[in-house]
Structure 1
């Protein structure tokens, strides 16, 4: 053999080509199967008392979840929103706490169960074509049954099993009961066609209720507006509903910046550059309250629908498909801003009786 010839590799130095490495060769024994690591028993595997404590802990967590579900249903029934801000907050808080405890109980119980009681051994199943013969089916069924028994669901730990299924079965009630209870609510969509605004109603600052004079509104200023009403009515149950439909955003522009400020009939709906529009987005009803002074755009923070208040609040961007309803305004003999009438079109998002 000449000096330029390479010697043949010895059988004890087998090589294999790594596809990801191109033409590189590496020793074959570098990729030996490490096998399944040795199982390290947990305290609950060796100490029956520790296993019993873990079982009690998991059971108590599931019971806590059940109590949270029951508590949210009780709160929904016994503490309904009474129309006041405090009442709505209290009802929402109690229902939310009940749901939080219910979900947290199920989640923490499941994690603790898996870490302390369920089997944690690693098993290897050789990859091969599964046949449909009786022996293969019997093996699969046996493996499934062994897994169920090892998880502690079947056979032993009856109290834990009852708490587990009880928590899972009751939790949907915390969502279903409020949904079922709302079916009998007010579905009269015609109520969205009219608000508290009427001819002569003064525009007032939200939330103080102080009437606004036109002289108080400077160019570029923004006011959150509600209809002027009595203090007694603002403390009533009806006020929350009526206010939610009547809220308005008012801005003063330079009159020359207004591209249009008239109704389809040609009536002027603004006063010396002061315009007022419904704050309720025509997409899904979020509050439109972000004003860009340089562009005269109103932005909805929920889905970024953008309206141009210099051009009848027409949609310039986003998913909303119609403009914000405009509140026609003027001034009274004392210089206060007042409504000429109610909105000329329904406020809020489109619904099945109003597609555009």
Structure 2
């Protein structure tokens, strides 16, 4: 049952039911802010916004300077310094624009609510003139015409910010784009497997069932130039299983790539390149801590879970005359994240 008050626009259907129509409540009463009534407050906020825009400009300049003056280099310290300075400067560049613009809009620009009724799409000439005048009034109300320093600082910050992105891209022009070098590592026939990071060669007799060893090529620690790049490509995880648990230790061509239950796989995840090193002895599963890709060590490190799309590359190994574990060759496919083509030659 519904009731209708002829003196009201509200129709009520009954207790607990919602009305069909509501009276227009109108606009809320406008409450002026401190900056609206106190010129000193407005001037203080203007200085704050100017400082933030200037901070953004300095941050962008800092990104460009750090990119050229502080290259990553070859050592962890130089890489850390370069990344920290670039990151801090880029943060200042972004935060200065974002916080400064937001502060200006919330405190200095007009916060009055305006109502404009809808009309036909093509307004009359008189209405169009009124609209143009309203835009002019809005621009005047925003105070931009009276705050030239803010306009200049804001536009400069916005104009300079793209340099923080473009300069690193331009700086890479002419660099080494030969991706073929990522298809091969320093592993080769006869290279002994050594402990990481000590570099001590490993004998097969030292590895017992259930053991997990972090491995690098013997001689890696003697390298100087490019040492980090070579290690990043060549790191290996060595595991010994009961040979009866191995579903396969052979290559697709039928070659034996393990030795008496000992198998070796690249530690570089085939998803995005994180180090895969969490081994579950009972299930023989190898877990990547970044995105939980899981590989079955007992079955050629095939993917059993997660976003990785291909198995970890296996390093063919055997033993030499002294009983040390050695590589039969390099990996037979590129290590690391999958990319557009897989040919190794």
State the TM-score, normalized to the length of structure 1: 0.86
Post-superposition offset of 1:86:
1.3
Q: Which residue of 2 aligns with 1:307?
A: 295
The partner residue of 2:320 within 325, 332, 337 is 332
Q: Which residue of 1 aligns with 2:263?
A: 275
Matches within 5 A, 1:80-229: 80-153=71-144, 155-229=145-219
The CA deviation string for residues 204-249 of structure 1, in whole angstroms up to 9 with x for no partner, is 232333333333333223222211226442xx34011111111112
- How many Å separate the matches in 1 of 2:168 and 2:150? 29
Post-superposition offset of 1:187:
1.6
Deviates more, 1:104-113 or 1:138-147: 138-147
Partner of 1:93, secondary structure, is helix
State the TM-score, normalized to the length of structure 2: 0.88
Conservation of the 8 A alpha-carbon contact between 1:13 and 1:27:
no
- How many Å separate the matches in 2 of 1:76 and 1:261? 47
RMSD: 2.8
- 1:16 paired with 2:7, answer no
- How many Å separate the matches in 1 of 2:92 and 2:134? 35
Q: Which residue of 2 aligns with 1:248?
A: 236
- How many Å separate the matches in 1 of 2:137 and 2:5? 48
Q: How many residues align?
A: 343
Partner of 1:162, secondary structure, is helix
The CA deviation string for residues 301-334 of structure 1, in whole angstroms up to 9 with x for no partner, is 4444332221112233444333221101123344
Q: Which residue of 1 aligns with 2:279?
A: 291
The partner residue of 2:252 within 249, 257, 264 is 264
Deviates more, 1:135-144 or 1:185-194: 135-144
Partner of 1:80, secondary structure, is coil
Q: 1:117 to 1:10 in 2, by over 3 A?
A: closer
- How many Å separate the matches in 1 of 2:284 and 2:216? 21
* Unaligned ranges ≥5, structure 1: 1-7
* Unaligned ranges ≥5, structure 2: none
- How many Å separate the matches in 2 of 1:116 and 1:227? 62
Partner of 1:87, secondary structure, is helix
